[in-house]
Amino acid sequence: MSRLADRTVLITGATGGMGSATVRAMAAEGAHVGVADMGAVLTARLAQEVGGTPLVVDVTSPDSVTAGVNALVAVRGTIDVLVNFAGIVDPRRMDEIEPEAWSRVFDVNVRGTWLMCNAVIPHMPRGGSIVNIGSRAGLVGGTTSGASYAASKAAVICFTKSVAKFAAPLGIRANVINPGCIETPMLDHFAPDVVAAMPGQAALGRLGTPAEIAESVIFLATDASSFMTGAQLNVNGGSHM
Ligand SMILES: NC(=O)c1ccc[n+]([C@@H]2O[C@H](COP(=O)([O-])OP(=O)(O)OC[C@H]3O[C@@H](n4cnc5c(N)ncnc54)[C@H](O)[C@@H]3O)[C@@H](O)[C@H]2O)c1
């Protein structure tokens, strides 16, 4: 089955845990993938592996975002799907965070998502799908995952609804996935006892896998979800219902 044959997909945070699994899953479905992340070596290696286009992009920089999007458009002409995985976490409580650290989390998670959507939408002339990545923390507030992070993900969830309303007349859908605890390098930012307690928070009693998030992205990227826009997909093993 090639659910994404001839589709051009741009994925940010592409060499991270969920990003790399999604790059491989979407390429296996026939997509040409723009592999966008900050590290030149890892993006080049992953793009070569899947026959995609490496894009060294810092999502907080308007110039870098524009250059990355233009580089993919130069190769493929148009873009069909944008997936915004790029994100950082700060696990600290609200009374532990410095103002600069608070802003950095919002710069990457919120401003980066906004810049990417703005830059890609003009290159989706035949319509398309945008998949943003929120978090369960953005629904329930920060406990283990920090106050700034939870607030930033709530902003991503709400911003996605604005994108959905803005882009619907252009034939572009926008939805957000709210993962629960997923086994990726991001969990290295948490204390071992916090990570050990994560599986028990889910009704299914385990962490999620990056492959399970990739499947949800493919669902939202394809016509299988053709009547969904401005929606949230909670992929959390039942840790929040
Ligand atoms: N792992 C979880 O349990 C979990 C749960 C909910 C939501 N999320 C979200 O899922 C997304 C993917 O996270 P992950 O778990 O794969 O983490 P990860 O740390 O493995 O991947 C994040 C990627 O984002 C990239 N990135 C960071 N800043 C960037 C910038 N300025 N420009 C471009 N790329 C940048 C990193 O280089 C990295 O490859 C993130 O938005 C994260 O907040 C993760």
pLDDT tens digits, residue range 2-23? Answer: 999 999 999 999 999 999 999 9
Instruction: Give residue 222 CA to ligand 1 midpoint distance, Å.
Output: 23
The answer on pLDDT for 172 being more than 80 is yes
Instruction: Give residue 184 CA to ligand 1 midpoint distance, Å.
Output: 9
Tokens of 13: 């945070």
CB distance 111 to 58 below 8 Å: no
Q: How far apart are CA 222 and CA 158, in angstroms?
A: 22
Catalytic residue, from 102, 149, 159, 190: name it.
Answer: 149
**Phi first, then psi: what are they for 137, rounded to 5°?**
-60, -30
Instruction: Give residue 85 CA to ligand 1 midpoint distance, Å.
Output: 6
Contact 116 CB / ligand 1 (< 6 Å): no
Q: How far apart are CA 84 and CA 19, in angstroms?
A: 9
Q: How far apart are CA 61 and CA 55, in angstroms?
A: 14
pLDDT in the model for residue 1 = 63
pLDDT tens digits, residue range 51-104? Answer: 999 999 999 999 999 999 999 999 999 999 999 999 999 999 999 999 999 999
pLDDT in the model for residue 142 = 79
pLDDT tens digits, residue range 14-47? Answer: 999 999 999 999 999 999 999 999 999 999 999 9
On whether the pTM is more than 0.85, the answer is: yes
Q: Coil, strand, or helix at residue 137?
A: helix
| CATH of segment(s) 8-233 | 3.40.50.720
Mean pLDDT across the stretch 168-182?
Answer: 98
Q: Which residues contact 156 (CB under 8 A, 6 or more apart)?
A: 109, 110, 113, 132, 133, 134, 135, 138, 176
Strand (E) positions, the chain? 8-12, 32-37, 53-56, 81-84, 128-133, 172-179, 232-235
Instruction: Give residue 127 CA to ligand 1 midpoint distance, Å.
Output: 26
Contact 23 CB / ligand 1 (< 6 Å): no
Q: Where are the domains of the chain?
A: 8-233
CB distance 17 to 210 below 8 Å: yes
pLDDT in the model for residue 122 = 98
Contact 208 CB / ligand 1 (< 6 Å): no
Q: Which amino acid is at 67?
A: A
The answer on pLDDT for 204 being more than 80 is yes
Q: How far apart are CA 147 and CA 154, in angstroms?
A: 11
Contact 90 CB / ligand 1 (< 6 Å): no
Question: 169 an active-site residue?
Answer: no
Mean pLDDT across the stretch 167-173?
Answer: 98
Nearest to 133 by CA among 165, 100, 108, 102: 108
